[in-house]
Amino acid sequence: MTTTQRTPERVAVVTGGSGGIGGAVARRLAAAGTAVVVHYSGGRARADEVVERITAEGGTAVAARADLADADEAAALFAAAEEHFGGVDVVVNTAGIMLLAPLAEMDLDDFDRMHRINVRGTFVVSRLAARTLRPGGALINFSTSVTRLQQPTYAAYAATKGAVEAMTLILARELRGRDITVNAVAPGPTATPLFLDGKSEQTVERLAAAAPLERLGTPDDIAETVAFLAGPGRWINGQVLYANGGIA
């Protein structure tokens, strides 16, 4: 559902838009006047809530489901953006999962599941973005600050995000002459329900104290970074931005 029938100036597809960070990104882009396709995989109710909040605040949004690792379903997601809003200018790829275990104990089925969603899913969406983004567009993939923190139990997850960084930086060079920026955002510890689930108060306090700003990030912090890359940050291209409050 949308609040208006006019053709928006810019259109964004936000994968994982039903999640904590994805929902904040969708709302922030909508607040800037961008029409948003809020992608979800299994969280239809949460995606609808994001859409309802956007429309209640005067924005324009629609929810759409897809298995992003399935090329046909992902293509249908982009087709929905074309059908509803006439094209795509911004793609924000927040969809991903994190399964933790020491490398020697990591279940290979869990590793394959992360690889399918985090790596293959990002690759499929990035390929579609490269083919469909209009001039002046932006692709923003998601990595993690863990790729340079070397924290135990994160090896498999960090490996998938290292792959995301590699494809992102190369794609930025491959799109020379298209006036399309390609970057990755690498959040640090961010206070989402998924991040906080299962962590003790002491663990949360320790993680919050790690940054010089002495707090956890918020989904809105990450959304502001994305909004900059999606809008005024046109001279930033082929980079990984660590949005983590200064964690080394």
Say what the pLDDT of residue 203 is.
Answer: 86
Catalytic residue among 40, 154, 157, 242: 157
C-alpha distances (whole Å) from 156 to each of 38, 122, 137 are: 28, 16, 31
Dihedral sign for Cα atoms in the order 54, 55, 57, 60: positive
The residue ranges of the chain whose pLDDT is under 70 are 1-8
- Name, in order, each residue with C-beta under 8 angstroms of 152's C-beta and a sequence gap of 6 or more: 102
pLDDT at 54: 98
What pLDDT, on a 0 to 100 scale, did the predictor assign at position 6? 52
pLDDT at 195: 79
- Answer yes or no: 157 catalytic: yes
**Position of tokens 């969809």?**
95
Q: Are 121 and 43 in contact (CB under 8 A)?
A: no
pLDDT attached to residue 192? 87
- CATH code: domain 11-242 is 3.40.50.720
Q: For the chain, what are the domain ranges? A: 11-242
Q: How much is the pLDDT for 5?
A: 45
pLDDT at residue 196 in the model: 80
Please give the pLDDT value at position 115: 98
Q: Indicate if the alpha-carbon torsion angle 175, 176, 181, 185 is positive or negative.
A: positive
